[in-house]
Amino acid sequence: MSVNATAAVTANVRLANATSKPVVDTEKGHRIRLFLGYLIVTALVVGIFAYGFNYYTLNSSERPFSPKHVLLKPSGTIGVKLGLLGLAMFLSIFLYPLRKRWAWLGRQGSSRHWLDNHVLLGLAAPFVIALHAAFKFRGFAGIAFWIMLAVSLSGVIGRYLYGQIPRSLNAAELSLKEVQDIQAKLGEQLAEQKVLPQSDLRALLNLPSPERVQNLPTVVALVYMMLLDLSRVFKIATLRRRHLSFVEQIFTLGGLRKTTHPELERAIEVAREEASIAKRVLFLSCSQKVFHLWHVVHKPFSYTFALLAIIHIVLVAMMGYFSF
Ligand code: HEM
Protein backbone atom coordinates (compact mmCIF):
# COMPACT_ATOMS: atom_id res chain seq x y z
CA MET A 1 0.00 0.00 0.00
CA SER A 2 1.25 3.50 -0.76
CA VAL A 3 2.04 6.17 1.79
CA ASN A 4 -0.75 8.13 0.15
CA ALA A 5 -3.42 5.58 0.99
CA THR A 6 -2.68 5.60 4.69
CA ALA A 7 -2.23 9.27 5.19
CA ALA A 8 -5.26 10.70 3.39
CA VAL A 9 -7.75 9.98 6.15
CA THR A 10 -8.28 10.89 9.81
CA ALA A 11 -6.26 9.39 12.66
CA ASN A 12 -8.72 6.73 13.81
CA VAL A 13 -9.71 5.71 10.32
CA ARG A 14 -6.08 5.73 9.28
CA LEU A 15 -5.26 3.11 11.87
CA ALA A 16 -8.01 0.76 10.80
CA ASN A 17 -7.37 1.28 7.14
CA ALA A 18 -3.64 0.78 7.17
CA THR A 19 -4.14 -2.63 5.62
CA SER A 20 -6.81 -1.67 3.04
CA LYS A 21 -7.07 0.98 0.31
CA PRO A 22 -9.01 3.98 1.61
CA VAL A 23 -9.49 6.90 -0.73
CA VAL A 24 -12.37 9.01 0.60
CA ASP A 25 -12.45 10.89 3.89
CA THR A 26 -15.82 9.57 5.08
CA GLU A 27 -15.45 11.31 8.46
CA LYS A 28 -15.53 14.83 7.08
CA GLY A 29 -19.30 15.30 7.45
CA HIS A 30 -19.20 14.08 11.04
CA ARG A 31 -16.26 16.36 11.86
CA ILE A 32 -18.09 19.39 10.45
CA ARG A 33 -21.30 18.55 12.38
CA LEU A 34 -19.27 18.07 15.56
CA PHE A 35 -17.43 21.34 15.06
CA LEU A 36 -20.76 23.14 14.54
CA GLY A 37 -22.08 21.47 17.70
CA TYR A 38 -19.13 22.81 19.75
CA LEU A 39 -19.52 26.22 18.12
CA ILE A 40 -23.25 26.49 18.88
CA VAL A 41 -22.89 25.32 22.48
CA THR A 42 -19.92 27.65 23.10
CA ALA A 43 -21.79 30.61 21.59
CA LEU A 44 -24.87 29.85 23.70
CA VAL A 45 -22.97 29.46 26.96
CA VAL A 46 -20.66 32.44 26.43
CA GLY A 47 -23.56 34.60 25.15
CA ILE A 48 -25.82 33.93 28.15
CA PHE A 49 -22.92 34.21 30.60
CA ALA A 50 -21.87 37.58 29.13
CA TYR A 51 -25.48 38.84 29.18
CA GLY A 52 -26.02 37.67 32.77
CA PHE A 53 -22.58 38.51 34.16
CA ASN A 54 -23.77 41.48 36.26
CA TYR A 55 -26.65 39.32 37.59
CA TYR A 56 -24.63 36.18 38.35
CA THR A 57 -22.10 38.23 40.34
CA LEU A 58 -24.78 39.61 42.70
CA ASN A 59 -25.35 37.86 46.02
CA SER A 60 -28.64 36.05 46.76
CA SER A 61 -30.24 38.97 48.62
CA GLU A 62 -29.53 41.47 45.80
CA ARG A 63 -30.68 39.28 42.91
CA PRO A 64 -34.49 39.77 43.27
CA PHE A 65 -33.94 43.53 42.69
CA SER A 66 -32.16 43.01 39.38
CA PRO A 67 -34.27 43.47 36.22
CA LYS A 68 -32.66 40.25 34.91
CA HIS A 69 -33.97 38.18 37.84
CA VAL A 70 -37.24 37.24 36.08
CA LEU A 71 -35.23 35.96 33.14
CA LEU A 72 -32.15 34.32 34.67
CA LYS A 73 -33.31 32.80 38.00
CA PRO A 74 -33.61 28.99 37.69
CA SER A 75 -37.38 29.25 37.29
CA GLY A 76 -37.14 32.40 35.12
CA THR A 77 -38.03 32.62 31.43
CA ILE A 78 -34.48 31.82 30.26
CA GLY A 79 -33.48 29.86 33.39
CA VAL A 80 -36.20 27.24 33.03
CA LYS A 81 -35.44 26.78 29.33
CA LEU A 82 -31.80 26.21 30.20
CA GLY A 83 -32.98 23.58 32.68
CA LEU A 84 -35.03 21.87 29.95
CA LEU A 85 -32.06 22.03 27.60
CA GLY A 86 -29.92 20.49 30.38
CA LEU A 87 -32.54 17.73 30.76
CA ALA A 88 -32.49 17.01 27.01
CA MET A 89 -28.68 16.91 27.09
CA PHE A 90 -28.74 14.66 30.15
CA LEU A 91 -31.10 12.20 28.39
CA SER A 92 -28.95 12.25 25.24
CA ILE A 93 -25.74 11.62 27.24
CA PHE A 94 -27.25 8.34 28.48
CA LEU A 95 -28.08 7.19 24.94
CA TYR A 96 -24.43 6.19 24.53
CA PRO A 97 -24.36 3.61 27.36
CA LEU A 98 -27.95 2.55 26.51
CA ARG A 99 -26.83 1.79 22.98
CA LYS A 100 -24.71 -1.07 24.31
CA ARG A 101 -27.82 -2.65 25.83
CA TRP A 102 -30.50 -1.93 23.22
CA ALA A 103 -29.66 -3.83 20.06
CA TRP A 104 -31.82 -1.65 17.77
CA LEU A 105 -30.18 1.53 19.11
CA GLY A 106 -26.76 -0.09 18.79
CA ARG A 107 -27.37 -0.56 15.08
CA GLN A 108 -27.90 3.19 14.52
CA GLY A 109 -24.77 5.07 13.41
CA SER A 110 -21.21 4.30 14.46
CA SER A 111 -20.02 3.91 18.06
CA ARG A 112 -17.26 6.42 17.51
CA HIS A 113 -19.71 9.11 16.39
CA TRP A 114 -22.00 8.39 19.32
CA LEU A 115 -19.04 8.70 21.69
CA ASP A 116 -18.06 12.03 20.10
CA ASN A 117 -21.62 13.29 20.69
CA HIS A 118 -21.55 11.89 24.25
CA VAL A 119 -18.34 13.84 24.91
CA LEU A 120 -19.73 17.07 23.40
CA LEU A 121 -22.90 16.85 25.50
CA GLY A 122 -21.02 15.66 28.60
CA LEU A 123 -18.64 18.63 28.42
CA ALA A 124 -21.36 21.16 27.67
CA ALA A 125 -23.99 19.95 30.17
CA PRO A 126 -22.23 21.25 33.35
CA PHE A 127 -22.04 24.75 31.81
CA VAL A 128 -25.70 24.75 30.75
CA ILE A 129 -26.79 23.44 34.17
CA ALA A 130 -24.58 26.00 35.97
CA LEU A 131 -26.33 28.77 34.00
CA HIS A 132 -29.72 27.19 34.74
CA ALA A 133 -28.87 27.15 38.47
CA ALA A 134 -27.61 30.75 38.12
CA PHE A 135 -24.40 29.52 39.81
CA LYS A 136 -26.16 28.72 43.11
CA PHE A 137 -25.73 25.03 43.88
CA ARG A 138 -27.91 23.94 46.82
CA GLY A 139 -29.74 20.81 47.99
CA PHE A 140 -30.21 17.70 45.85
CA ALA A 141 -29.72 19.64 42.66
CA GLY A 142 -26.46 21.08 43.98
CA ILE A 143 -25.08 17.64 44.88
CA ALA A 144 -26.21 16.34 41.45
CA PHE A 145 -24.34 19.23 39.82
CA TRP A 146 -21.04 18.53 41.62
CA ILE A 147 -21.30 14.82 40.81
CA MET A 148 -22.01 15.65 37.18
CA LEU A 149 -18.97 17.92 37.10
CA ALA A 150 -16.81 15.14 38.59
CA VAL A 151 -18.18 12.64 36.02
CA SER A 152 -17.55 15.13 33.23
CA LEU A 153 -13.95 15.81 34.33
CA SER A 154 -13.27 12.10 34.81
CA GLY A 155 -14.65 11.65 31.28
CA VAL A 156 -11.70 13.63 29.89
CA ILE A 157 -9.28 11.07 31.38
CA GLY A 158 -11.54 8.23 30.18
CA ARG A 159 -11.57 9.63 26.66
CA TYR A 160 -7.78 9.78 26.64
CA LEU A 161 -7.51 6.16 27.83
CA TYR A 162 -10.16 5.07 25.31
CA GLY A 163 -7.96 6.49 22.54
CA GLN A 164 -4.95 4.56 23.84
CA ILE A 165 -6.55 1.22 23.01
CA PRO A 166 -6.25 0.52 19.28
CA ARG A 167 -9.70 0.04 17.74
CA SER A 168 -11.28 -0.76 14.41
CA LEU A 169 -13.63 1.61 12.58
CA ASN A 170 -16.64 0.36 14.55
CA ALA A 171 -14.70 1.07 17.79
CA ALA A 172 -14.20 -2.62 18.69
CA GLU A 173 -10.83 -3.28 20.32
CA LEU A 174 -8.25 -4.74 17.93
CA SER A 175 -6.38 -7.88 18.91
CA LEU A 176 -2.61 -7.61 19.47
CA LYS A 177 -2.08 -9.60 16.26
CA GLU A 178 -4.18 -7.13 14.24
CA VAL A 179 -2.29 -4.18 15.74
CA GLN A 180 1.07 -5.83 15.02
CA ASP A 181 0.00 -6.41 11.39
CA ILE A 182 -0.89 -2.74 11.05
CA GLN A 183 2.39 -1.79 12.69
CA ALA A 184 4.31 -3.99 10.25
CA LYS A 185 2.54 -2.34 7.26
CA LEU A 186 3.30 1.13 8.61
CA GLY A 187 6.93 0.09 9.15
CA GLU A 188 7.15 -1.06 5.50
CA GLN A 189 5.69 2.23 4.29
CA LEU A 190 8.15 4.19 6.37
CA ALA A 191 11.06 2.18 5.01
CA GLU A 192 9.82 2.74 1.41
CA GLN A 193 9.29 6.50 1.63
CA LYS A 194 12.13 8.72 0.47
CA VAL A 195 11.11 12.05 1.99
CA LEU A 196 12.18 11.61 5.62
CA PRO A 197 15.71 10.25 6.25
CA GLN A 198 15.72 7.20 8.56
CA SER A 199 18.14 9.01 10.87
CA ASP A 200 15.53 11.78 11.41
CA LEU A 201 12.83 9.22 12.16
CA ARG A 202 14.85 7.57 14.89
CA ALA A 203 14.20 10.36 17.41
CA LEU A 204 10.46 10.15 16.75
CA LEU A 205 10.24 6.37 17.05
CA ASN A 206 12.53 6.09 20.05
CA LEU A 207 10.63 4.53 23.01
CA PRO A 208 11.53 3.10 26.43
CA SER A 209 12.03 -0.68 26.67
CA PRO A 210 8.99 -2.91 27.52
CA GLU A 211 10.78 -4.05 30.73
CA ARG A 212 11.18 -0.47 31.88
CA VAL A 213 7.50 0.30 31.18
CA GLN A 214 6.35 -2.86 32.96
CA ASN A 215 8.20 -1.85 36.13
CA LEU A 216 6.73 1.65 36.26
CA PRO A 217 4.01 2.42 38.86
CA THR A 218 0.66 2.89 37.05
CA VAL A 219 0.38 6.63 37.68
CA VAL A 220 3.93 7.24 36.49
CA ALA A 221 3.23 5.14 33.36
CA LEU A 222 0.12 7.25 32.65
CA VAL A 223 2.02 10.52 32.97
CA TYR A 224 4.83 9.06 30.84
CA MET A 225 2.30 8.17 28.11
CA MET A 226 0.93 11.70 28.09
CA LEU A 227 4.42 13.20 27.97
CA LEU A 228 5.31 10.97 25.02
CA ASP A 229 2.15 12.15 23.20
CA LEU A 230 3.02 15.76 23.94
CA SER A 231 6.67 15.44 22.93
CA ARG A 232 5.61 13.77 19.64
CA VAL A 233 3.96 17.04 18.58
CA PHE A 234 7.31 18.86 18.91
CA LYS A 235 9.36 16.06 17.35
CA ILE A 236 7.06 16.15 14.31
CA ALA A 237 7.48 19.93 14.13
CA THR A 238 11.27 19.39 14.14
CA LEU A 239 10.93 16.84 11.31
CA ARG A 240 8.89 19.34 9.28
CA ARG A 241 11.22 22.27 9.94
CA ARG A 242 14.14 20.41 8.34
CA HIS A 243 12.26 20.53 5.01
CA LEU A 244 11.00 24.10 5.19
CA SER A 245 12.34 27.48 4.17
CA PHE A 246 12.59 30.19 6.81
CA VAL A 247 9.36 31.83 5.61
CA GLU A 248 7.50 28.50 5.61
CA GLN A 249 8.74 27.85 9.14
CA ILE A 250 7.13 31.11 10.23
CA PHE A 251 3.81 30.36 8.46
CA THR A 252 3.65 26.85 9.92
CA LEU A 253 4.46 28.14 13.43
CA GLY A 254 7.83 26.41 13.49
CA GLY A 255 6.48 23.25 11.84
CA LEU A 256 3.55 22.77 14.23
CA ARG A 257 0.98 23.36 11.44
CA LYS A 258 0.65 21.30 8.28
CA THR A 259 2.58 22.44 5.23
CA THR A 260 1.48 22.65 1.60
CA HIS A 261 3.87 19.82 0.61
CA PRO A 262 1.65 16.77 0.10
CA GLU A 263 4.50 14.21 -0.08
CA LEU A 264 6.05 15.50 3.14
CA GLU A 265 2.69 15.54 4.94
CA ARG A 266 1.88 12.00 3.81
CA ALA A 267 5.24 10.71 5.04
CA ILE A 268 4.79 12.57 8.32
CA GLU A 269 1.29 11.08 8.79
CA VAL A 270 2.68 7.57 8.45
CA ALA A 271 5.58 8.36 10.80
CA ARG A 272 3.20 9.90 13.34
CA GLU A 273 0.87 6.90 13.18
CA GLU A 274 3.77 4.47 13.52
CA ALA A 275 5.10 6.33 16.58
CA SER A 276 1.64 6.59 18.10
CA ILE A 277 0.71 2.93 17.59
CA ALA A 278 4.11 1.71 18.86
CA LYS A 279 3.56 3.74 22.04
CA ARG A 280 0.01 2.40 22.45
CA VAL A 281 1.22 -1.19 22.09
CA LEU A 282 3.99 -0.58 24.62
CA PHE A 283 1.57 0.78 27.23
CA LEU A 284 -1.42 -1.38 26.24
CA SER A 285 -1.75 -3.50 29.36
CA CYS A 286 -1.45 -0.38 31.56
CA SER A 287 -4.10 1.51 29.51
CA GLN A 288 -6.50 -1.43 29.59
CA LYS A 289 -6.09 -1.89 33.34
CA VAL A 290 -6.66 1.79 34.14
CA PHE A 291 -9.53 2.09 31.63
CA HIS A 292 -11.26 -0.85 33.32
CA LEU A 293 -10.84 0.80 36.74
CA TRP A 294 -12.06 4.09 35.27
CA HIS A 295 -15.30 2.40 34.14
CA VAL A 296 -15.83 1.12 37.68
CA VAL A 297 -15.81 4.75 38.92
CA HIS A 298 -17.46 6.61 35.99
CA LYS A 299 -20.51 4.33 35.81
CA PRO A 300 -21.83 4.38 39.41
CA PHE A 301 -21.16 8.12 39.70
CA SER A 302 -23.13 8.67 36.48
CA TYR A 303 -26.08 6.71 37.80
CA THR A 304 -25.97 8.50 41.17
CA PHE A 305 -26.01 11.81 39.31
CA ALA A 306 -28.93 10.56 37.16
CA LEU A 307 -30.90 9.56 40.24
CA LEU A 308 -30.36 12.92 41.97
CA ALA A 309 -31.21 14.81 38.78
CA ILE A 310 -34.46 12.82 38.44
CA ILE A 311 -35.36 13.58 42.09
CA HIS A 312 -34.70 17.27 41.42
CA ILE A 313 -36.87 17.25 38.27
CA VAL A 314 -39.74 15.43 40.02
CA LEU A 315 -39.58 17.87 42.96
CA VAL A 316 -39.71 21.00 40.77
CA ALA A 317 -42.50 19.45 38.67
CA MET A 318 -44.48 18.80 41.88
CA MET A 319 -43.89 22.38 42.97
CA GLY A 320 -45.45 23.55 39.70
CA TYR A 321 -42.39 25.23 38.21
CA PHE A 322 -43.18 23.87 34.76
CA SER A 323 -46.38 25.96 34.41
CA PHE A 324 -44.69 28.64 32.30
C1 HEM B 1 -21.55 14.68 32.70
C2 HEM B 1 -22.01 13.85 32.06
C3 HEM B 1 -21.62 12.43 31.74
C4 HEM B 1 -22.31 11.32 32.10
C5 HEM B 1 -23.57 11.27 32.94
C6 HEM B 1 -21.61 10.18 31.52
C7 HEM B 1 -22.03 8.87 31.64
C8 HEM B 1 -21.42 7.79 31.07
C9 HEM B 1 -21.84 6.42 31.20
C10 HEM B 1 -23.04 5.96 32.02
C11 HEM B 1 -20.97 5.66 30.49
C12 HEM B 1 -21.00 4.13 30.31
C13 HEM B 1 -20.07 3.52 31.31
C14 HEM B 1 -19.94 2.02 31.10
O15 HEM B 1 -20.59 1.46 30.22
O16 HEM B 1 -19.16 1.42 31.87
C17 HEM B 1 -19.99 6.52 29.90
C18 HEM B 1 -18.93 6.12 29.13
C19 HEM B 1 -17.95 6.95 28.69
N20 HEM B 1 -17.90 8.31 28.82
FE21 HEM B 1 -19.19 9.45 29.82
N22 HEM B 1 -20.51 10.61 30.85
C23 HEM B 1 -20.46 11.98 30.95
C24 HEM B 1 -19.52 12.83 30.42
C25 HEM B 1 -18.43 12.41 29.71
C26 HEM B 1 -17.40 13.27 29.19
C27 HEM B 1 -17.38 14.79 29.35
C28 HEM B 1 -16.49 12.48 28.56
C29 HEM B 1 -15.22 12.86 27.86
C30 HEM B 1 -14.66 14.03 27.85
C31 HEM B 1 -16.95 11.11 28.67
C32 HEM B 1 -16.29 10.03 28.15
C33 HEM B 1 -16.74 8.74 28.25
C34 HEM B 1 -16.00 7.60 27.73
C35 HEM B 1 -14.63 7.63 27.03
C36 HEM B 1 -16.76 6.47 28.00
C37 HEM B 1 -16.39 5.01 27.75
C38 HEM B 1 -16.66 4.62 26.36
C39 HEM B 1 -16.61 3.12 26.18
O40 HEM B 1 -15.93 2.40 26.92
O41 HEM B 1 -17.27 2.67 25.25
N42 HEM B 1 -18.11 11.11 29.37
N43 HEM B 1 -20.28 7.82 30.28
Q: Give the tens place of pLDDT for each residue, 21-54.
A: 445 677 889 999 999 999 999 999 999 999 999 9
Q: Which residues pair with 167 in a beta bridge?
A: 173
Say if residue 209's pLDDT is above 50.
Answer: yes
Pick the atom of ligand 1 nearest to 156's CA.
Answer: 30
Instruction: Quote the pTM value.
Output: 0.84
Query: What's residue 188's pLDDT?
Result: 87
- Rounded Cα distance between 239 and 211, Å, is 29
Q: How confident is the model at residue 235 (pLDDT cuts 50, 70, 90)?
A: very high
How many other C-beta atoms lie within 10 A of the C-beta of residue 185? 17
Where is pLDDT greater, at 263 or 203? 263
- The reported pLDDT for the residue numbered 320 is 67
Region 48-62: mean pLDDT is 95
Give dist(CA 190, CA 201) in Å, integer: 9
Taking the CB of residue 94, how many other CB atoms lie within 10 A of it? 14
**What's the pLDDT at 173?**
85
CB 115 within 8 A of CB 176: no
In whole angstroms, what is the distance from residue 122 CA to residue 149 CA? 9
CA of 95 to the centre of ligand 1 (A): 10
- Position 104 scores a pLDDT of 87
Mean pLDDT score of the chain: 86
pLDDT band per the 50, 70, 90 thresholds, residue 6: very low
Q: Which long-range contacts (CB under 8 A, 24 or more apart) does 72-81 make?
A: 72/134, 73/134, 74/132, 74/133, 74/134, 74/136, 75/316, 75/321, 75/324, 77/324, 78/48, 79/131, 79/132, 79/134, 80/132, 80/321, 80/322, 80/324
* pLDDT-based confidence at residue 321 (cuts at 50, 70, 90): low
Q: pLDDT-derived band of residue 234, with 50, 70 and 90 as boundaries?
A: very high
**Cα–Cα distance measured from residue 177 to residue 251, given in angstroms and rounded to the nearest whole number:** 41
**Based on the number of CB atoms within 10 Å of its own CB, is 45 exposed (0-12), middle (13-18) or buried (19 or more)?**
middle
Which pLDDT score, from 0 to 100, does residue 73 have? 94
pLDDT at 120 over 70: yes
For residue 9, name the pLDDT band (cuts at 50, 70, 90). Answer: very low
- Give the angle 141-145-148 at the CA atoms, nearest 5°: 135
Supply the pLDDT for residue 24: 62
pLDDT score of 322: 57
Q: Is the predicted pLDDT of residue 308 greater than 80, yes or no?
A: yes
Read off φ and ψ for residue 167, nearest 5 degrees: -130, 160
Residue type, 242: R
Q: Please tell me the distance between residue 81's alpha carbon and the centre of ligand 1 in angstroms.
A: 25
Residue 14 has pLDDT above 80, yes or no: no
Residue range 245-300, pLDDT digits in tens:
999 999 999 999 999 998 899 889 998 999 999 999 999 999 999 999 999 888 88
95 pLDDT exceeds 80? Answer: yes
How far, in Å, is the centroid of ligand 1 from the Cα of 88?
Answer: 16
> Which helix (H) or strand (E) segment is 232 a member of?
helix 218-241
For position 215, what pLDDT does the model report? 92
The pLDDT, as a whole number, for residue 198 is 81
In whole angstroms, what is the distance from residue 7 CA to residue 268 CA? 8
Q: How far is the centre of ligand 1, averaged over its atoms, from the C-alpha of 221 (Å)?
A: 23
pLDDT tens-digit map of 72-87: 999 999 999 999 999 9
pLDDT at 2 over 70: no
Q: Give the ligand 1 atom nearest the CA of 305.
A: 5
> Ligand 1 pocket: which residues have CB below 6 Å?
93, 97, 115, 118-119, 122-123, 125, 148, 151-152, 155-156, 158-159, 162, 295, 298-299, 302, 305
In the reported structure, the alpha carbon of residue 242 is separated from the centroid of ligand 1 by a whole-number distance in angstroms of 41
